[in-house]
């Protein structure tokens, strides 16, 4: 195995963005860039041995800077939404940047995703990226040191390990926002991909995509992926939640079944399968609903609606305002640690 470091581009202020390329001996290639600690590309063989990139995003820095919908990016310090951009911490109101419709705080206003991280290779199959967020950034309390380690293993796993410590009490919720298309190109959408999600409940949302607080059973709804079902089978159902979000953009409450992946996605034409494992309580299934062909992705291909799917492992959205959800408040000096693994197979 090997890790190669090269130049990817320059930010508008001249700062260099680097590209890390890690290869294993089965022909899998993982690429990570220092802008947003982004998973830039993941090349994997299909059932005929043809190697393609199974992530949807941009070839160059230009795309990441001008068109991004968080393609491949790490999101922090709080991924997903916080209602009205505010919550109570130690009896005091914390007011965050309200970057979505002037109301909610989405993806912490992109702070970690738009930053150029420091990075260094580790051994022959990993890279560690680090970023320090200043006290008060996007309104959050505490200077935070964060690290993300990407490892590619010989058994075809991409492991993403997050760790972070703040010097004041704060909420912490990292994710990776990769859009996958297992066909190996964004020419076709992902509606034919077959998904199994070990989640008997999900968190329905209001019109601002904020959880209502209910943990709703998936049974007899289009949200039931407990048996393998194509993503497109019910995506156009006249279900109020689906219509409101133009598809799936919901947090599922993971059951964490022993010995099983939390999610499995299979693409029948290429034979590629992706398994997702996480220690976090939830995952956001987002089916690229807001892509509409106006932004141009890798290979000059316009990113059409549902060109990719995301499985963003996370604490539930708006957790700081829901005392009943699994909590993600960390004390000053207390370490946040979490791991998500993407495993690649072919059948």
d(CA 187, CA 244): 26
If you count DSSP H runs as helices and E runs as strands, how many of each does the chain have, helices first? 3, 29
When the beta carbons of 111 and 312 are compared against ligand GLA, the nearer one is 312
Count of CA atoms in the C-beta half-sphere (13 A) of 69: 23
Among 286, 309, 330, 342, binds ligand GLA (CB under 6 A): 286
Q: How many CB atoms lie within 10 A of CB 65?
A: 15
Find the catalytic residue in 107, 177, 193, 322.
177
Give the residue ranges of DSSP H helices in 10-145. Answer: 61-67, 111-114
Least separation in angstroms between residue 196's CB and ligand GLA is: 20
* Piece of the chain touching ligand GLA by CB under 6 A; list 191-199, 222-230, 284-292, 333-341: 284-292
For the question of residue 312 being annotated catalytic, the response is yes
When the beta carbons of 68 and 341 are compared against ligand GLA, the nearer one is 68
Least separation in angstroms between residue 325's CB and ligand GLA is: 16
Among 249, 262, 267, 318, binds ligand GLA (CB under 6 A): 249
Q: Is 229 helix (H, G, I), strand (E, B) or coil?
A: strand
* E strand or H helix that includes residue 242: helix 240-245
Find the catalytic residue in 64, 250, 312, 322.
312
Least separation in angstroms between residue 100's CB and ligand GLA is: 8
For strand 336-346 and strand 194-197, is the pairing parallel, antiparallel, or unpaired? unpaired
d(CA 258, CA 269): 29
When the beta carbons of 227 and 294 are compared against ligand GLA, the nearer one is 294
Q: Is 139 helix (H, G, I), strand (E, B) or coil?
A: helix
Least separation in angstroms between residue 107's CB and ligand GLA is: 6
For strand 216-217 and strand 201-203, is the pairing parallel, antiparallel, or unpaired? antiparallel
- The residue sitting closest to ligand GLA, measured at its beta carbon, is 286
Q: Binding of ligand GLA at residue 118 (CB under 6 A)?
A: no
When the beta carbons of 37 and 106 are compared against ligand GLA, the nearer one is 106
Phi, psi dihedrals of residue 176, rounded to the nearest 5° = -115, 135
Beta-bridged to residue 296, according to DSSP, are 302
The set of residues, in sequence order, having a beta carbon less than 8 Å from that of 122 and lying 6+ positions away, is: 3, 128, 149
Among 4, 290, 293, 334, binds ligand GLA (CB under 6 A): 290
Q: Which of residues 29-88 bind ligand GLA (CB under 6 A)?
A: 69-70, 80
For the question of residue 120 being annotated catalytic, the response is no
Return the DSSP state at 325. Answer: S
The set of residues, in sequence order, having a beta carbon less than 8 Å from that of 118 and lying 6+ positions away, is: 34, 129, 130, 131
Q: Which of residues 301-330 bind ligand GLA (CB under 6 A)?
A: 310, 312
Q: Which of residues 159-218 bind ligand GLA (CB under 6 A)?
A: 209
Least separation in angstroms between residue 286's CB and ligand GLA is: 4
Please answer whether residues 38 and 60 qualify as being in contact, where contact means their C-beta atoms are separated by less than 8 angstroms. Answer: no
When the beta carbons of 147 and 246 are compared against ligand GLA, the nearer one is 246
Question: Contact positions toward ligand GLA, by CB under 6 A?
Answer: 69-70, 80, 106, 209, 249, 284, 286, 290, 310, 312
Please give the positions annotated as active site. Answer: 177, 312
């Amino acid at each position: 195995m090997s890790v190669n470091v090269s130049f990817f581009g320059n930010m508008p202020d001249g700062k260099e963005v680097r590209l890390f390329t890690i290869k294993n001996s089965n022909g899998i290639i993982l690429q990570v860039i220092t802008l947003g600690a982004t998973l830039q590309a993941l090349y994997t063989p299909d059932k005929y041995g043809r190697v393609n990139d199974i992530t949807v995003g941009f070839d160059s820095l230009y795309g990441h800077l001008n068109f991004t919908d968080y393609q491949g990016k790490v999101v922090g310090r709080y991924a997903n939404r916080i209602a009205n951009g505010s919550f109570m911490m130690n009896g005091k109101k914390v007011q965050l940047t309200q970057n979505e419709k002037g109301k909610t705080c989405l993806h912490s206003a992109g702070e970690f995703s738009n930053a150029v991280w420091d990075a260094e290779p580790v051994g022959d199959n990993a890279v560690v990226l680090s970023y320090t967020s200043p006290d008060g950034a996007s309104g959050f309390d505490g200077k935070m040191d964060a690290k993300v380690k990407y490892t590619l293993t010989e058994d075809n796993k991409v492991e993403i390990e997050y760790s972070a410590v703040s010097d004041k009490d704060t909420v912490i919720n990292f994710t990776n926002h990769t859009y996958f298309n297992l066909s190996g190109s964004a020419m076709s959408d992902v509606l034919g991909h077959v998904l199994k999600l070990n989640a008997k409940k999900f968190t329905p949302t209001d019109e601002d995509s904020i959880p209502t607080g209910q943990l709703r059973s998936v049974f007899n709804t289009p949200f039931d992926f407990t048996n393998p079902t194509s993503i497109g089978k019910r995506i156009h159902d006249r279900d109020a939640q689906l219509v409101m979000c133009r598809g799936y953009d919901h947090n599922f409450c993971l059951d964490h079944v022993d010995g099983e992946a939390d999610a499995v996605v299979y693409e029948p034409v290429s034979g590629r399968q992706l398994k997702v494992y996480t220690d976090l309580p939830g995952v956001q299934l987002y089916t690229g609903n807001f892509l509409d062909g106006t932004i141009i992705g890798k290979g000059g291909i316009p990113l059409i609606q549902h060109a990719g799917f995301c499985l963003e492992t996370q604490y539930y959205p708006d957790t700081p305002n829901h005392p009943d959800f699994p909590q993600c408040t960390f004390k000053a000096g207390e370490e946040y640690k979490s791991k998500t693994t993407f495993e690649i197979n072919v059948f």
